[in-house]
């Protein structure tokens, strides 16, 4: 990543020097999910060449935003991960996600999507006031992988998130307690249900959607999030 300066004594200008290059924000989004190998990033960011990815990662390393780490046996590999300075970007990326959602309608049906991107949406749009005290298991998947396999959901492009509402708002849960309803759906439909844009009846009748548990609770899912798109 070629060094560039605005020559301005301004924190926003400093941030723009780091974040303003093409592909930098999507790379940082991927690293928010967790450490990634170079090959992982190439797969998850179609359209980004190896040379540009190497350039962007090198620039982010030089700025102290990203670091490399060697994984030991049984599967030695090099992964890229956020440094503490990189992790400090999360609130800003969440705010950018909220702002960018108003333009999501401009997306194309062929646009690439990863199921675990839903995690950023959950963080960005979770309500902080009282929400219905239901427990949901959300299992978004990528239509490109075809049908979902119970035996190997991750290999089929599926992610799993568990969220609950309550007096203090919506939050992620990591316990093993039962949920009121489990929803497995393409990520686009899942976002539609979370925003309220997808009619519940259409989701129930869709062959792409599997709902287990109390179907009536599904109508409350959109009450757990503030999504206006």
193-214 pLDDT per residue, tens: 999 999 999 998 999 999 999 9
Q: What CA–CA distance (Å, rounded) separates 143 from 81? A: 28
Q: How confident is the model at residue 109 (pLDDT cuts 50, 70, 90)?
A: confident
What region does 47 belong to: left with phi over 0, alpha with psi -120 to 50, or beta?
A: left
> Do the domain assignments include residue 22?
yes
Q: What is the mean pLDDT of residues 156-161?
A: 85
Out of 35, 56, 88, a domain closes at: 88
C-beta atoms surrounding 9 within 10 Å: 7
pLDDT higher than threshold 90 for residue 178: yes
pLDDT higher than threshold 80 for residue 15: yes
pLDDT tens digits for range 110-125: 899 999 999 999 999 9
One domain for residues 219 and 125? yes
> Do the domain assignments include residue 5?
no
Q: What is the CATH number of the domain that holds 192?
A: 3.30.1050.10
Instruction: Check residue 164 and give its pLDDT.
Output: 98
One domain for residues 42 and 121? no
> Do the domain assignments include residue 97?
no
* Residues sharing a CB contact under 8 Å with residue 135, sequence separation 6 or more, in sequence order: 162, 163, 164, 173, 177, 178, 179, 180
Q: Which of 96-105, 153-162, 173-182 has the weakest average pLDDT?
A: 153-162
| Single pTM value for the model | 0.88
Q: Identify the residue whose tokens are 């800003």.
A: 92
Q: How confident is the model at residue 76 (pLDDT cuts 50, 70, 90)?
A: confident
One domain for residues 26 and 121? no
One domain for residues 122 and 78? no
Q: What is the mean pLDDT of residues 169-187?
A: 95
- Provide the residue range defining the domain that includes 40: 11-88
Out of 88, 118, 152, a domain closes at: 88
């Amino acid at each position: 990543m070629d060094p560039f300066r605005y020559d301005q004594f301004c924190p926003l200008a400093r941030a723009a020097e780091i974040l303003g290059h093409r592909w930098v924000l999507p790379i940082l989004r991927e690293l928010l999910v967790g450490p990634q190998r170079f090959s992982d990033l190439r797969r998850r960011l179609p359209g980004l060449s190896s040379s540009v990815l190497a350039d962007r990662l090198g620039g982010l390393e030089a700025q102290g935003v990203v670091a490399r780490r060697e994984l030991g046996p049984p599967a030695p590999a090099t992964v890229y991960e956020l440094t503490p300075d990189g992790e400090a970007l999360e609130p800003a990326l969440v705010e950018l996600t909220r702002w960018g959602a108003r333009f999501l309608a401009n997306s194309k049906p062929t646009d690439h999507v990863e199921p675990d991107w839903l995690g950023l949406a959950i963080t960005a749009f979770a309500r902080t006031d009282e929400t219905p005290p239901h427990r949901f298991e959300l299992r978004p998947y990528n239509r490109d992988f075809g049908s979902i396999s119970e035996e190997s959901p991750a290999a089929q492009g599926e992610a799993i998130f568990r969220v609950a509402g309550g007096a203090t708002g919506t939050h992620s849960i990591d316990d093993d307690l039962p949920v009121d309803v489990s929803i497995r759906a393409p990520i686009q439909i899942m976002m539609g249900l979370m925003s309220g844009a997808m009619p519940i009846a259409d989701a129930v009748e869709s062959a792409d959607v599997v709902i287990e548990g109390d179907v009536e609770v599904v109508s409350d899912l959109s009450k757990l999030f503030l999504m206006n798109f």
